[in-house]
Chain A
Amino acid sequence: MNPEIVPVHREESIREDGMLFVRTDGILETMVKAPLILAGLIIVTVLIPLQTSFSSTRTLELIIYSDGSTHVSTQIDVDPLEPDFELNLFGKSIDNFVATGDTGFLLSEEIVEDKAIIDTFGSSSIIIDYNIDDLVSKEGRVWTFSFDSPSDYTLLMPKNSVIVGMSGLPNNMELVDEQTKLGLTAGLSEINYIFTPINPTTHKPTISSESSFNYINAAVVGGSIIAAVIGIVLMLKRKQSKSLPSIIQTESTEKQTEIKSIDTETIFNFRPEMREDDKEIVKFISDKGGQVLESELRKKFLQPRTTMWRAVKRLERLGIIEIDKKDLQNLVKLKKDLEEEK
């Protein structure tokens, strides 16, 4: 007879209030193994940043031209199971509309007033570019940008402009080739600006680069990855015999060496979806020892500021380059830890 099913024993564990108490000691070890918890946490840790980034509007960038028209550039995640996607435009005076799918191919569209119906045919992400005249108005010499944004966005102010009024609070500001670039949050914002006839360099504010939060985030993500790697190594060690650690260490060292000696081919293999013109930029940076000023890139490729800036941001998003500041200029550097971005 099994002593665990003796009725008297059961009665002992039932209190007067009728609650049943069960010993939990050792449940974690016997039912759910620690490695399983570890693996689960690793997955959750990796998924948290991914989940944060998977929103409908992935990026939204606005550039105000000096005549008040605005360029809108946005990347949107769409349902790949749907044949088309209806996009709400930020106004009705739309010009130079271009929609491309995740493979870079042009998508056809139909614009009806402030809506665009784009034939996505299985694309999971689309990039939309267009110009709009509805966001900026002018009264006297005061220009007013007014925008009710569905998501956080960046706004590049025109050259020689000075902000003289703001209804909201920016969360970031940086200087991109003598132009102020603001980071703004979702919702209604009104920004008033004027153009200064005086050379703006005499009044250039000492603007810091992007806030340090990105570095903290990077450190947290990096820390998680390191912790995950340590966890995996420990689990492997546990399973294998004690004579194996030296082999694991050797493999790890070899892998580190590979990461450090990254070349353009590795980058292209790592990001096969990269545009051809972006590859040329990467090759140029690599030839220049892995870092160049953004202005050098413009000179080399004869591209206007906004185009090159977009290309650089695209490469940054792909995790291939990082942007630093050097004498108020953008220093574009090839990343050495490409593997960690996977």
Chain B
Amino acid sequence: MKKIISFVLLILVSSMILGGMTNTAQAQTDPTILLKIAKHAQKQLEDQINQNSSDKTKQLFKEGMQQINALEESLKNNDIDLAKKYFLSAMKIFKEISQQLTNSQSSQAEVVTLKDTVKDPSADLLRMQDYVDNLKIIAKKYNTSINFSELDNLFVTAKKQITDKQFDDALQTISKIKQITEDFNNKIRGHASQQEQSRAKEYAQKYLEQLDRLIEDVKNQGLSEDIIQKLVAARENLSSITDPQEIIKQIKEIKLIKEHLKVHKK
């Protein structure tokens, strides 16, 4: 039996040690990721470098490729530290190339693409969709009677307008979505504030119980009558207020008295 227990103890200790090791290992970088990111960047830039690109840019790209080759080689040799160094070096070069390409490229096609990106309100719509989804969950939690169907329809409309490249119309629809969302947000917050009051009261009640024990302790320890009176007065105030903000304010005041009490005890 002793042998079995020793064996179990051994397993437990080993697992604790292994657990610690893996936690450390988890924070480390998987080196193969580095090569994938760097190669992906290399491929993208390769597609964009053309005959019109400057010699400097082409030279930089060659240097970048050399760094990637060195990165690949160091990974084969299992030299992770060196691999990290080559990765950072390659990415630094690729960043510089991207900036150079930005300055030099002025083809009409590129300008049109960027213009479209700027005008396209897809991101704004997606952002609002995420926000509204979050509000829907909260509204459900409060059992509100808010009807989101109008908003849902507007989202469908805006998506279609974006697909059809009617960006100005889409922007107007998104503007409507924002107005309605703001209104819903206020309604939900109205519901929330009612419940917050009861949560604040519940919290204050728990705090009062702690405070009662503290007052009792202070009395037993025969500490300053002034502090006891302050605590009793604060207790009375806290028990009478219902506004959440007032409760927070009062609790902060009690904390100051507690700090004073600690100093007094020392």
Instruction: For the A-B complex with A49-B19, A139-B102 known, give 13 more contacts whose Cβ atoms are closer than 8 Å.
Output: A38-B5, A45-B12, A65-B127, A83-B252, A98-B131, A106-B192, A139-B99, A170-B29, A171-B28, A172-B33, A220-B18, A224-B12, A276-B140
Q: Which residue of A lies closest to B198 (CB)?
A: A121
Q: Which of B28, B40, B129 contacts A304 (CB 8 A)?
A: B129
* Chain B neighbourhood of A52, CB < 8 A: 23
Whether the Cβ atoms of B137 and A104 lie closer than 8 Å is: yes
Q: Which residue of B lies closest to A229 (CB)?
A: B8
Whether the Cβ atoms of B11 and A227 lie closer than 8 Å is: yes
Say if the beta carbon of B214 comes within 8 Å of chain A. no
Say if the beta carbon of B146 comes within 8 Å of chain A. no
CB distance from B164 to the nearest CB of A (A): 18
Q: Which of A208, A227, A307 contacts B8 (CB 8 A)?
A: A227
Majority secondary structure of chain A interface residues (helix, strand, loop or mixed): mixed
With A69-B123, A227-B15, A307-B129: A165-B196 Cβ-Cβ less than 8 Å: no
Q: Mark A187-225, 1 if CB is under 8 A from B, else 0.
A: 000001011111000010111100101101100110110
Q: Which of A96, A163, A213 contacts B40 (CB 8 A)?
A: A163
CB distance from B190 to the nearest CB of A (A): 10
A-side residues, CB < 8 A to B, are: 34-35, 37-38, 41-42, 44-45, 48-49, 52, 65-67, 69, 71, 83-84, 96, 98, 100, 104-108, 119, 121-122, 129, 131, 139-142, 152, 158, 162-167, 169-173, 185, 192, 194-198, 203, 205-208, 211, 213-214, 216-217, 220-221, 223-224, 227-228, 230-231, 234, 238, 275-277, 303-304, 306-307
CB distance from A302 to the nearest CB of B (A): 8
With A41-B12, A304-B133, A307-B133: A217-B37 Cβ-Cβ less than 8 Å: no
Whether the Cβ atoms of A194 and B251 lie closer than 8 Å is: no
Within 8 A of A (CB), among B234-266: 244-245, 247-248, 251-252
Say if the beta carbon of B74 comes within 8 Å of chain A. no
The stretch that binds A, out of B49-57, B85-93, B219-227, is B85-93
Q: Which of A100, A105, A106, A220 contacts B22 (CB 8 A)?
A: A220
Whether the Cβ atoms of A45 and B192 lie closer than 8 Å is: no
With A83-B251, A169-B34: A231-B29 Cβ-Cβ less than 8 Å: no
Whether the Cβ atoms of B192 and A165 lie closer than 8 Å is: no
* Chain B neighbourhood of A192, CB < 8 A: 95, 98
Within 8 A of A (CB), among B189-245: 189, 192-193, 195-196, 199-200, 202-203, 206, 244-245
The CA of A35 and the CA of B244, in the complex, are separated in Å by: 50
With A140-B102, A163-B37: A172-B30 Cβ-Cβ less than 8 Å: yes
With A66-B123, A105-B141, A195-B117: A152-B99 Cβ-Cβ less than 8 Å: no
The CA of A228 and the CA of B16, in the complex, are separated in Å by: 12
Whether the Cβ atoms of B5 and A173 lie closer than 8 Å is: no
Q: Which residue of A lies closest to B138 (CB)?
A: A106
Whether the Cβ atoms of B16 and A48 lie closer than 8 Å is: yes
Q: List 19 A-B contacts (CB under 8 A).
A: A34-B2, A41-B13, A45-B16, A66-B123, A106-B188, A107-B192, A108-B193, A141-B101, A141-B110, A163-B37, A164-B41, A167-B91, A198-B47, A213-B22, A213-B25, A220-B15, A228-B12, A234-B1, A306-B126
The CA of A217 and the CA of B20, in the complex, are separated in Å by: 9
* Chain A neighbourhood of B98, CB < 8 A: 141-142, 164-165, 192, 194
